[in-house]
């Protein structure tokens, strides 16, 4: 059994992570933490875990002892906090999977520019945690920066076309809509029921922090600097992301070449379901699962390709992705604890 601990277990992503780790036959949950609810049982805050996980929440002040007693630590804290944990555990053999943004960027100056936080752990050896793209790097990584939710949906949609140079990488536009759980469990006016219900809105236009994360991965895949337009939207549902990605098709690229690129890159992937050309992924079809459903359309009139990507933001966009990375890093089968049927309806 591999001993795992969850730092910041009381957010939506942390609770989702616990729900997955509980059913993992090779993982034993050693410690869970919360600074605001120290001493309480996790099932007091999340009654759906009652009788399933009744562990007591500990304080992060004991992080070194937690690190000594863990093989892997999952960090589900807001940005700016994981690097403090990483520094304190630097000399321990424990491996870290950070669900936040602190270890996602190879160039920390990009992180500092977009997150307005000084990076304290600049020399940390880390890899980007998007399993289908960086699987080989993840296997031996000390620190894994779990990919963000919008970025997962967007990168997976665009990766085959960028990798095979079928589109103009600087013509990319991404419109993505997320359920409100992506904003976290904290109380905010914009997430208040009367503000959210029966409403649909864009936010952080041209300034969302997932933009450089998408650009970094696309640059890695295509070998060229990439600048995109990314616009996030909030929809009145609890979970799910639908990303609609647009790009100009290069000259002399046939429709069959686009189809083949998706098949070549993802045909053998467990958690990517290719719906094919002229298909329409929906968030309800992936709800509660680690699947990413992809469909694409080719607009002959404008010579653009339009890719639709649907994920559950708390699973494939956060906790499920973290466990998928954990399985790879620990040498387990990748689908352990994640091989579940989506919840429907």
Q: What are phi and psi of 104, to 5 degrees?
A: -85, -20
Separation of alpha carbons 339 and 321, rounded Å = 12
Separation of alpha carbons 74 and 82, rounded Å = 10
Here the tokens at position 236 are: 């009145």
> Active-site residue 245, yes or no?
no
Asked if 29 and 4 touch (Cβ cutoff 8 Å), the reply is yes
Angle, vertex CA 57, rays to CA 51 and CA 58, nearest 5? 150
Separation of alpha carbons 172 and 170, rounded Å = 6
Here the tokens at position 16 are: 């989702």
Partners of residue 230 on adjacent β-strands = 174
Separation of alpha carbons 10 and 13, rounded Å = 8
Residues in CB range of 345: below 8 A, 6 or more apart = 284
Asked if 309 and 245 touch (Cβ cutoff 8 Å), the reply is yes
Separation of alpha carbons 52 and 31, rounded Å = 15
Which entry of 53, 149, 245, 292 is annotated as an active-site residue? 149
Q: Which residues are catalytic?
A: 149
């Amino acid at each position: 059994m591999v001993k795992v601990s969850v730092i910041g277990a009381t957010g939506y992503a942390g609770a989702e992570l616990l729900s997955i780790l509980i059913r993992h036959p090779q993982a034993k949950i050693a410690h869970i933490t919360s600074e605001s609810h120290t001493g309480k049982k996790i099932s007091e805050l999340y009654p759906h875990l009652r009788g399933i996980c009744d562990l007591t929440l500990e304080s992060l002040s004991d992080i070194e002892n937690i690190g000594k007693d863990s093989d892997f630590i999952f960090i589900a804290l807001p940005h700016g906090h994981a690097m403090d944990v990483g520094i304190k555990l630097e000399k321990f053999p424990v491996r870290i999977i950070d669900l936040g943004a602190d270890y996602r960027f190879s160039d920390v100056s990009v992180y500092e520019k977009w997150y307005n936080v000084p990076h304290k752990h600049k020399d940390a050896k880390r890899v980007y945690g998007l399993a289908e793209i960086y699987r080989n790097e993840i296997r031996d990584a000390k620190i894994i920066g779990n990919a963000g939710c919008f970025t997962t949906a967007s990168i997976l949609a665009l990766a085959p076309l960028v990798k095979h140079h079928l589109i103009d990488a600087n013509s990319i536009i991404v419109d993505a809509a997320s359920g409100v759980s992506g904003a976290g469990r904290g109380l905010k006016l914009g997430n208040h029921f009367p503000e959210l219900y029966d409403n649909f809105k864009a936010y952080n236009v041209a300034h969302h922090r997932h933009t450089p994360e998408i650009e970094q991965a696309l640059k890695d895949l295509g070998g060229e600097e990439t600048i995109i337009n990314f616009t996030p939207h909030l929809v009145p549902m609890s979970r799910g992301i639908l990303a609609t990605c647009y790009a100009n098709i290069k000259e002399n690229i046939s429709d069959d070449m686009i189809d083949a690129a998706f098949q070549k890159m993802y045909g053998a992937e467990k958690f990517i379901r290719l719906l094919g050309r002229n298909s329409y992924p929906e968030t309800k079809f992936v709800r509660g699962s680690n699947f990413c459903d992809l469909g694409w359309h080719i607009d002959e009139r404008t010579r653009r390709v339009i890719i639709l990507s649907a994920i559950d933001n708390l699973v494939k966009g956060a906790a499920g992705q973290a466990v998928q990375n954990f399985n790879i890093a620990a040498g387990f089968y990748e689908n352990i604890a994640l091989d579940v049927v989506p919840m429907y309806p």
